[in-house]
A and B are shown apart, each in its own frame.
Chain A
């Protein structure tokens, strides 16, 4: 059911023009009910990052968003803020994250996306960051505070050279003309923010604006859409999947990681609770 991962250890200079990217492969092979899970790297414990990724894949997640913790996560609600704070207290840095992931592609085949804020990436050096991502086998980046105009002006080339998809957000307020523009600039998929909120707001997807979802659907975008923010359980997941290719679960998973059980137990229980292993398609 998941795509076969291509080994991505080539240096950018040696890359061909049309590199394969695991994200594209995933959406080619599976066009609905894609389950993407977000967690904050270095939480609950500094050393949990690679284990959580491995367990998520084993239990059937299709895509993973690894959160790079930041001191001032202005687009995040209380749950992810707290996990980010804890991860930083645990000592997480970008340097350590890349170390923890250096071997990840010998275990994990599903697409991996790094999500965070621009400032740590700027300090690390955007070019060095992209090269390091490519070497590690990262497929895409989500930086909500890197807007399209800054990206196209300064960073598009280096992302491309390293075969990294830059994933943009759209919201219920984004006008149609801008959604089309974002679709043109996008690579990979489009992250549809479900409602006007920070991450983790406890709305039900049934309460979300059908008008917005239908409007986006009618635009017939080139890139697949995945709905995120406020997806927390099987009901909201299934509901979101009616309108898009899949959905992203973040805060609800981060909250689940606070349970006292071993990670194996928490993660298998959590994913089964969303997808119900028995009726998974492959």
Chain B
């Protein structure tokens, strides 16, 4: 893994075609990378034999890749960051592996790298423009209908059928700035604004450039396709940013204050699925599953005595707010938690709202860089005076911080 391009070099892209659809072209490209020995294996979503899911599969077999490789599946049953972490948590991959993921999955992978849960050596990261995914439950209920619905999603890039957090995702593509800063990735596959059947391959690291060179692909600066991609991506980013603000304001009015928060999580069955599937909740034993939150009967009876009653299972809100206080700075708004919630609680919408504010406060963006430490793992000697001796004289307004 290498760092993003240095400032001023400018983005370059190589057009690639050959398939009937852009996704077929992506498969064609991946097949070539395997054939030319760029990588020893690919980690990507593959259509399950039953056609009803798309797990990550480590693929070396070109026929499997061709038949069932799914560079942009309609659902996200497993967060890619978790897949890369399962592969490399015990050490680096012994041979070269390219992992193809959506941008939020790449960002989670980078966070997991910083949390020492991913080894990036020998992992080549490929991201792809993402139109969002369908709620996993909708798809499981009727995969055929789901496939058709996702076809429409791919056409429109703004469909209401995708999950709520996808509808307001403003980081669905690679960095658009000339210096390429904003997400650590080796190669991005651009689909936006490009004719069907064609894709744009944009290297974001020296390793990405090497791979293109190996395949005799020459990325050009500027050019019609690159600017078409960039224009469309810019336009959509802006629109989504506005929608995000609007949706978050609305969510705030529903969730702010203890009463609203309690109501939002009233249905929670304490299954902790949301934590288990979350890529950045990586703890081997979550505090909220540990003995530390299991108390003797005395304790519960005393609490019931003090307040008149106590709910079982207890500590629903403690789990939610506690989890936020642990991992909000690394939350990538991927929506996996919400997909996994059996009670249809808008978990990811609430978490990403809290995460956005926390990340803005610390001037931190998960997945932006491998060098930038997660804010809780570092400090400055002089900072955050607003939290010292507050609340005396402190208002609730926030100050810009530069992490």
Chain A bound to chain B: no
